Amino acid sequence: MSEMLNTLEQTALSEYKYGWVTDIEADEAPPGLSEDIVRFISAKKNEPEWMLEWRLKAFRHWVKMTEPTWSNVHYPKIDYQSIKYYSAPKQKVTVNSLDEIDPELRATFEKLGISLDEQKRLSGVAVDAVIDSVSIATTFKTQLAELGIIFCSMSEAIKEHPELIKKWLGSVVPMTDNYFTALNSAVFSDGSFCYIPKGVKSPMELSTYFRINAENTGQFERTLIVAEESSYVSYLEGCTAPMRDENQLHAAVVEIVALDNAEVKYSTVQNWYPGNKEGKGGIYNFVTKRGLCAGVNSKISWTQVETGSAVTWKYPSVILKGDNSQGEFYSVAVTNNYQQADTGSKMMHIGKNTRSRIVSKGISAGFSQNSYRGLVQVGKNAINARNFSQCDSLLLGDKCGAHTFPYIEVKNSTAQVEHEATTSKIGEDQIFYCNQRGLDTETAVALIINGFAKEVMNQLPMEFAVEAQKLLAISLEGSVG
């Protein structure tokens, strides 16, 4: 037994493959957070007065709040006054074509393997690239505009579409919702805004790549997706981050609204720097993602593949307000070395005949801790609400942990709520069987993991699924001796 443990200890995670720092002269705020900083950020972004007021209101609320401690993650106390809250790559003029973009930024995209040219030419995916909080390139905008689809940076939306932003920003996730949403509301740097008008089905996947870039800069992305009646959109968000030695705070907010008969599919692959194999460094990821099925027959589906971050705190949720609305949550969360993840979903059934489905697959390796935390709530008027939850955990080695915290609150007797959970280990027998057919152990583990996660992977758009499969394999390299 001890031999196997040693192997596990020695053969830790491969070095983070996307670790580099792009040297772009940053335009940044001094460390610390105060009303002045909030004003600085708002001024930097040339925001209207109402936006500044909104931020200040959030800030004043935030200072009265305390950081939550209920999750199953442990990290050193964050000094919010040592963090820089604004950093923008210096990009003086907005660009109309990719040729005008800083070559260094473009090289960064090349390293990520998502050259915009390629994207633009081949895949039909519109990419709103966010490097260090400010959108620098948006493609396909014209084509989308013809359909009335708005897909732009949040900063731009605040200027160009103030009525929509005033109407919907904070409507699903109130600024006062929790500590991190208040913080985000005060200092959010940029993000994406997506608006699908009535009756329009977006002809392409809308995709955003996020990337933390300047040293010591917190990231506070803000995303808002509004799907009007009978519209449809599939939205992708993916990210990688450069290696660094100090912890970074990431507190994003994503809001989705689906009106009558609208459907929104939101997929994400999250690969923030997880820290080195001793658990040093890595991103703290405290994210609030929530969707509101506001209209009848509306549907919101979250799919996530989580492999990164030192600490993850994330519960994509759906409020099922409209009658017959549906919420889905599909998740694969991988933790290795000293990573900690506390993630899951909340499904709040309010309307009649509402349905929700949760499929969570947790994979733990090394010394990591992986928790599923989920809440299924059925309100007193939610006649015939249905929920099915499945939480499967897979363990690699015997020093990691998998935990499941399901909460169920039902106030209507016609509801049907099902919960299934399993925990298994990758067996030596399975590995040997694969070895005997000519597969080395790495390939065998990747195969078994992808089999385990298949139900979730199948939800991802094809090109994303391929990327995600590779990521799972990379994240677990060397974790089985």
Partner 1 sequence: MLSIKNLQARIEEKEILRGINLDIKPGEVHAIMGPNGSGKSTLASVLAGRADYEVTGGSVEFLGKDLLELSPEDRAREGLFLAFQYPIEIPGVSTTNFIKTAVNEVRKYRGEEPMDAVGFLKLMKERMKLVNIDQSLLSRSLNEGFSGGEKKRNEIFQMAMLEPRLAILDETDSGLDIDALRIVAEGVNKLKSKDNATLVITHYQRLLDYIVPDYVHILYKGRIVKTGGKELALELEERGYDFIKEELGEEVEA
Whole-angstrom distance, CA of residue 66 vs CA of residue 249: 16
Residues near 289 by beta carbon (within 8 Å), at least 6 away in sequence = 252, 253, 254, 266, 302, 314, 315, 316, 317
- Judged by beta carbon, residue 160 or residue 428, the one nearer partner 1 is 428
Q: How far is the CB of 394 from partner 1 (least distance, A)?
A: 10
Contact flag: residue 428 with partner 1 (CB under 8 A): yes
Q: How far is the CB of 67 from partner 1 (least distance, A)?
A: 38
Q: What is the DSSP string of 404-423?
A: EEEEEEE--TT-EEEEEEEE
Chain-centre distance of CA 17, in angstroms? 20
Token couple for 422 = 């399993």
- Judged by beta carbon, residue 216 or residue 430, the one nearer partner 1 is 430
Q: Dump strand ranges (E) for 346-442.
A: 346-349, 355-364, 369-378, 386-395, 401-410, 416-425
In 3D space, the residue among 149, 254, 266, 157 whose CA is nearest the CA of residue 202 turns out to be: 149
Contact flag: residue 439 with partner 1 (CB under 8 A): yes
User: Stretches 16-24, 142-150, 191-199, 448-456: which one binds partner 1 (CB under 8 A)?
Assistant: 448-456
Contact present, 476 and 449 (Cβ < 8 Å): yes
Contact flag: residue 67 with partner 1 (CB under 8 A): no
Near partner 1 by CB under 8 A: residue from 57, 447, 470, 474? 447
Q: How far is the CB of 451 from partner 1 (least distance, A)?
A: 3
Helix (H) / strand (E) element for 159: namely: helix 154-160
Q: How far is the CB of 429 from partner 1 (least distance, A)?
A: 5
Contact flag: residue 50 with partner 1 (CB under 8 A): no
Contact present, 242 and 271 (Cβ < 8 Å): no
Contact flag: residue 375 with partner 1 (CB under 8 A): no
Q: What is the DSSP letter of 246?
A: S
Number of residues that bind partner 1 (CB under 8 A): 23
Q: How far is the CB of 177 from partner 1 (least distance, A)?
A: 36
- Judged by beta carbon, residue 327 or residue 362, the one nearer partner 1 is 362
Contact flag: residue 423 with partner 1 (CB under 8 A): no
Contact flag: residue 448 with partner 1 (CB under 8 A): yes
Specify burial of residue 366 (Cβ count, 10 A radius: 0-12, 13-18, 19+). buried
- N-term to C-term CA, the chain: 11
- Judged by beta carbon, residue 56 or residue 439, the one nearer partner 1 is 439
Contact flag: residue 432 with partner 1 (CB under 8 A): yes
Q: How far is the CB of 356 from partner 1 (least distance, A)?
A: 23
Contact flag: residue 452 with partner 1 (CB under 8 A): yes
Near partner 1 by CB under 8 A: residue from 99, 121, 437, 462? 437
Contact flag: residue 25 with partner 1 (CB under 8 A): no
Contact flag: residue 453 with partner 1 (CB under 8 A): yes
Contact flag: residue 94 with partner 1 (CB under 8 A): no
Near partner 1 by CB under 8 A: residue from 30, 95, 451, 466? 451
Whole-angstrom distance, CA of residue 98 vs CA of residue 16: 28
Contact flag: residue 454 with partner 1 (CB under 8 A): yes
Q: How far is the CB of 460 from partner 1 (least distance, A)?
A: 15
Contact flag: residue 436 with partner 1 (CB under 8 A): yes
In 3D space, the residue among 260, 255, 200 whose CA is nearest the CA of residue 233 turns out to be: 200
Helix (H) / strand (E) element for 112: namely: helix 103-112
Near partner 1 by CB under 8 A: residue from 203, 430, 461, 463? 430
Near partner 1 by CB under 8 A: residue from 309, 450, 459, 465? 450
Q: How far is the CB of 464 from partner 1 (least distance, A)?
A: 19
Specify burial of residue 66 (Cβ count, 10 A radius: 0-12, 13-18, 19+). exposed
Please report, for residues 222, 348, 349, 418, the alpha-carbon distance to residue 414 in angstroms, rounded to integers and kept in the order given: 38, 15, 12, 13
How many CA atoms, within 13 angstroms, populate the side-chain half-sphere of residue 200?
20
Residues lying near partner 1 in the complex (CB under 8 A) are found at: 427-430, 432-441, 443, 447-448, 450-455
